[in-house]
A and B are shown apart, each in its own frame.
Chain A
């Protein structure tokens, strides 16, 4: 069974802090994704990666960056956290289809 692990379930950060959200998958998947989930807005794609050191912008990349130094790990970085980045962040991985999601990180920025 595919396992996608997000390092934190809940995270509280202050405005202006640099925040790292970590995601690790154990199935040697090439593709990894970061989405944010907000009530009434569904899942919105932030960034994705098809291979190590490769990244593509999704629909809402502003204020975020990513890092993929190893195949199994995909990090989402909030360079300077703002209150409008308070959300549930979901990581996913795949080889082809379908996407397999992690349990999510609920980030609160105060």
Chain B
């Protein structure tokens, strides 16, 4: 079945450094790639997403890049802050229908130390 691989599983950075999380997907039909942030004890929340007709998207300190040919996408966080500490999940749509289910990676635990 469809699969999403996410690396690294843990990432520790100093405040102010950049953090990069990478994902690869297997379903060529996937066309929607969101990133979710989950703080301890809370629900996953969408932080940024990208569709297959776009190569890069940025929102303040967060950016996502997509390489459809290679089937991989990445999350970039610049100027990290302690409140960025959380578990981050990448996901890919199960096929290309609007509203379809998402297949998630296993998550990356990001720790930002001050």
Interface residues of A (CB under 8 A from B): 30-31, 33, 35, 40-45, 48, 50, 56, 58-59, 90, 94-99, 101-104
Give the dominant DSSP class at B's interface.
loop
| Docked-complex contact B32 and A97, CB < 8 angstroms | yes
Interface residues of B (CB under 8 A from A): 1, 6, 9, 32, 34, 42-46, 49, 89, 93-94, 98-107
**The residue from B94, B100, B104 contacting A42, defined by CB atoms under 8 A apart:** B104
Extra contacts, 9 of them, besides A43-B89, A97-B93 (Cβ < 8 A), are A35-B104, A41-B106, A42-B6, A43-B104, A56-B101, A58-B101, A59-B103, A94-B99, A101-B44
CA separation between A31 and B9, bound complex, in Å?
A: 30
CA separation between A35 and B105, bound complex, in Å?
A: 13
With a cutoff of 8 Å between Cβ atoms, the chain B residues found around residue A45 in the complex are: 94, 101-104
| Docked-complex contact B106 and A31, CB < 8 angstroms | no
